[in-house]
């Protein structure tokens, strides 16, 4: 069996953020749903690769809904 690492809690600080993109929720095919949050930074901005990508997977679409004070995605 291969070793594994499990992160229980993590805080990440990112400076020089150029863009934040939240994908639509898509069906994975096994009955779960997935979406991504991508953060882009200097020097390439959104034209480059994200400096951080967070993939959210849930058993229901509502489980990975994102709510802000002004908008609901």
Give the model's pLDDT for residue 73: 63
In this predicted model, what pLDDT tens digit does every residue of 5-59 receive, in sequence order? 788 899 999 999 999 999 999 999 899 999 999 999 999 999 999 999 999 999 9
- Do the Cβ atoms of 57 and 70 come closer than 8 Å? no
How far is residue 51's CA from residue 23's CA, in Å, rounded to a whole number?
16
For the whole model, what pTM was predicted? 0.79
24 vs 1: which has the higher pLDDT: 24
Contact 61, 25 (CB under 8 A): yes
Structure tokens at 24: 């639509």
Residue 25 token pair: 């929720």
Q: Which residue has the higher pLDDT, 9 or 73?
A: 9
């Amino acid at each position: 069996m291969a070793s594994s690492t499990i992160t229980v809690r993590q805080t990440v600080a990112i400076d020089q953020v150029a863009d934040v993109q939240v994908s639509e929720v898509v069906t994975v095919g096994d009955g779960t749903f997935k979406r991504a949050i991508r953060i882009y930074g200097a020097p390439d901005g959104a034209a480059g690769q994200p400096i951080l990508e967070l993939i959210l997977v849930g058993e229901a679409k509502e489980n990975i809904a994102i709510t802000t004070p002004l908008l609901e995605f």
